[in-house]
Amino acid sequence: MFVSESFSSRQGTQLTMHQPDLKTDVFSPLKLFTHMDVMYDWWQGKNVYPITMELSPSTICNHFCTWCMHGGYFGSHKGDDKSKKANPDASIMPLSFYRTLLDELVTLGTKSMIFSGSGEPFVNPNLMEFVEYTAHKGVDSAIITHGGLLTPEKARVVARHCTWIRISLNAGTPETREKIHKVNDFEKVLGNLANLAEEKRRQGSKVQIGAQISVEPTNLAEVEEATRRVRETGIDYFQIKPVILHPKSSSEFYDRDFYLDALYRARAARQMYETETFRVFVKEDQFAGVLAPDLERSAYRKCYATFFPVIEANKKVYYCSQTRGQEEFCLGDLSTQSFREIWEGERRKQVMASINVDECQPICRCHPINKVLWTLRHPNNNPNFV
């Protein structure tokens, strides 16, 4: 599943792609097979409903990251008047709508909810009520956020009810955070992380608190410094991954030497700062993908990960997180249909049939899942010898 060649770093050290520890890798696609009843239905060709749902409480964000796929080239999503004119769908999901939606999703087998989306989840003033109701229904919840709006009051709810939360830090200094996010809140976010870590200890909570840096030329030199600053907050882990540009991006794809340098720095940061209580996850699979000559396009020829949709705050359902906001991948509108009606409808079948993996976001969220499922459907390794 990973590139097998060794790479020479800028200092002459051999870099070889490593397999993750499947017992501790929280990002492993093999977690899918803890739901064997669902996977059996998938194998039989049945219409499998989402185990994990991703939902946008808000399409509005008060940051404007330089390479954000949503704000960068799907139209502005900041909450000022000018942005609303550019994006009339900018919206906040009502709590009453979410409660009704979740009630239905529970009956369909949804077990977890990720609050993320094209906007910043915490822009929705009712996000903590979303989290509390999700816990009330027995569904696990998680949040992906830029971290700038995580107040002490909200941290108490997160620690009490969330399974995990991950903050997109993307810098090791205030100056670089401002260059990328267009907001100067670096120290504030680190303070928010430290407060959340303390709240976790106070409550005896099991919430996993993480931060991440998506490595690009602006923050490349700060990978180690970012890891150090994050460890000082007392949270659980730091994730280091490469920025992978969408095909619709106007920016040019970074060259091979950049990704090799980024991988070298990521591994150095892990070696320097990882401890028994602070993990440093280097996204080896994503680095392997961007370093492969074909971006691992040949690893599968069809998207089998058809059960990881996204629901936007404007109540539209999209095929996946990389297609949100693109009408050709919209499965339906929850303003006029139930989720079940959308999931079993003809429109979803049409969208699924239209997916061309050569034109999709490379190394996407479902990329490792697709590699596994494609291998199951197309074995070429003497499968009767186990």
Task: Please report the DSSP string for 146-176 in residue order.
Answer: -STT--HHHHHHHHHH-SEEEEE---SSHHH
Q: Over 70: is that where the pLDDT of 91 sits?
A: yes
Q: Over 50: is that where the pLDDT of 288 sits?
A: yes
Q: Over 80: is that where the pLDDT of 73 sits?
A: no
For residue 87, the model assigns a pLDDT of: 52
| Mean pLDDT of the region 46-71 | 86
Q: In whole numbers, what is the pLDDT of the chain averaged over residues?
A: 89
Q: What are phi and psi of 169, to 5 degrees?
A: -90, -55
| Among the ranges given (32-41, 62-71, 180-189, 346-355), the one the predictor scored with the smallest mean pLDDT | 62-71
| Domains of the chain, first to last | 47-73+89-377 (3.20.20.70)
Query: Which residue is it, tokens 């490349």?
Result: 220
For residue 331, the model assigns a pLDDT of: 98
Q: Over 60: is that where the pLDDT of 4 sits?
A: no
Q: Which residues contact 162 (CB under 8 A, 6 or more apart)?
A: 131, 141, 142, 143, 207
Angle, alpha carbons 42-333-352 (nearest 5°): 35
Q: Over 70: is that where the pLDDT of 217 sits?
A: yes
Sign of the Cα torsion 147, 219, 362, 366 reads negative
Alpha helix (H) residue ranges in 278-338: 284-291
Q: Which residues contact 372 (CB under 8 A, 6 or more apart)?
A: 29, 30, 32
| Among the ranges given (3-7, 170-174, 326-330), the one the predictor scored with the smallest mean pLDDT | 3-7
Q: Over 90: is that where the pLDDT of 247 sits?
A: no
For residue 20, the model assigns a pLDDT of: 56
For residue 318, the model assigns a pLDDT of: 96
Angstrom distance (rounded) from CA 135 to CA 109: 15
DSSP assignment letter at 31: G
For residue 324, the model assigns a pLDDT of: 87
| 8 band by pLDDT with thresholds 50, 70 and 90 | very low
Q: Are 307 and 110 in contact (CB under 8 A)?
A: no
For residue 77, the model assigns a pLDDT of: 46
Q: Over 80: is that where the pLDDT of 192 sits?
A: yes
